[in-house]
């Protein structure tokens, strides 16, 4: 290779590397800018925002689940809908979670899917919600700070309104049809989610919001 050609290759490589260094610099600058903004956020505003955002995310996930459930029941009947929930309930909540970069769960003390069992913190909150309901008190959503405030845990009680929910979560003798019950036992051999009555606590939404995601969206 002629020395001239080598020079051009070298020069070109230098140009490329300079270009990318410049954009890295800009990125770093933006990061620094963002982190100084973080310091200006006040804790009360952060909690207030997490509460509003949690309300929005849980409503969005709930809507997505209920709309899909109604459609599937109309198309395939209740037993068919159990199959569908088995395959799709978790992916539906996951989709909402990924969209907002948070973690979304529905947990219950008497859960159907073992993946929806609560952790210790969630268990305490569920017990508090159940206690309040039993005392006739209305449950408000709640925010708990976890990991030294790095995570804001939003929770919201899910109460059984009655109606269609009882066709799959009500009394196995009278409210749940044989074919539905058979499908539930097939898909969920450790099911604990029957025997509910209207007005009882079915579970809760549990949404773990990373502090930095809340700040990014404020």
Q: Does position 209 bind ligand HEC by CB under 6 A?
A: no
Min separation Cβ 47 and ligand HEC, Å? 25
How many CA atoms, within 13 angstroms, populate the side-chain half-sphere of residue 177? Answer: 11
Q: Are 27 and 133 in contact (CB under 8 A)?
A: no
Q: Does position 193 bind ligand HEC by CB under 6 A?
A: yes
| Closest to 207 in 3D by CA, of 55, 91, 2 | 55
Q: Which of residues 145-184 bind ligand HEC (CB under 6 A)?
A: 158, 160, 164-165, 167-169
Q: Does position 111 bind ligand HEC by CB under 6 A?
A: yes
Min separation Cβ 95 and ligand HEC, Å? 13
Min separation Cβ 91 and ligand HEC, Å? 9
Q: Does position 112 bind ligand HEC by CB under 6 A?
A: yes
Q: Does position 58 bind ligand HEC by CB under 6 A?
A: no
Q: Does position 211 bind ligand HEC by CB under 6 A?
A: no
- Residue placing its CB nearer to ligand HEC in the complex, 168 or 208: 168
- Residue placing its CB nearer to ligand HEC in the complex, 55 or 213: 55
Q: What is the layout of strands, in order, in the sheet containing 103-107?
A: 103-107, 201-210, 151-159, 142-146
Min separation Cβ 81 and ligand HEC, Å? 3
Binding residues for ligand HEC, rule CB under 6 A, total 25
Binding site for ligand HEC (CB under 6 A): 66, 69, 78, 81-82, 85-86, 89-90, 106, 108, 111-113, 116, 158, 160, 164-165, 167-169, 193, 202-203
């Amino acid at each position: 290779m002629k020395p001239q050609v080598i020079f051009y290759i070298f020069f070109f490589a230098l140009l490329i590397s300079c270009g990318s260094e410049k954009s890295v610099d800009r990125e770093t600058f933006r990061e620094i800018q963002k982190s100084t903004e973080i310091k200006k956020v006040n804790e009360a505003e952060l909690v207030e925002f997490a509460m509003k955002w949690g309300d929005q995310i849980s409503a969005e996930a709930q809507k997505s689940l209920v709309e899909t459930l109604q459609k599937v029941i109309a198309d395939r009947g209740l037993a068919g809908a159990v199959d569908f929930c088995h395959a799709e309930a978790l992916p539906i909540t996951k989709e909402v979670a990924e969209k907002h970069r948070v973690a979304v769960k529905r947990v219950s003390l008497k859960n159907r899917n073992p993946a929806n069992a609560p952790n210790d913190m969630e268990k305490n909150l569920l017990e508090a919600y159940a206690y309040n309901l039993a005392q006739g008190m209305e449950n408000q959503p709640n925010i708990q700070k976890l990991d030294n405030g790095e995570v804001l845990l939003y929770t919201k009680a899910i109460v059984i309104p009655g109606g269609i929910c009882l066709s799959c979560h009500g009394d196995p003798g009278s409210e749940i049809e044989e074919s539905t019950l058979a499908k539930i036992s097939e898909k969920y051999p450790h099911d604990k989610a029957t025997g509910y009555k209207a007005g009882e606590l079915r579970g809760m939404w549990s949404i773990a919001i990373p502090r930095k995601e809340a700040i990014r969206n404020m």
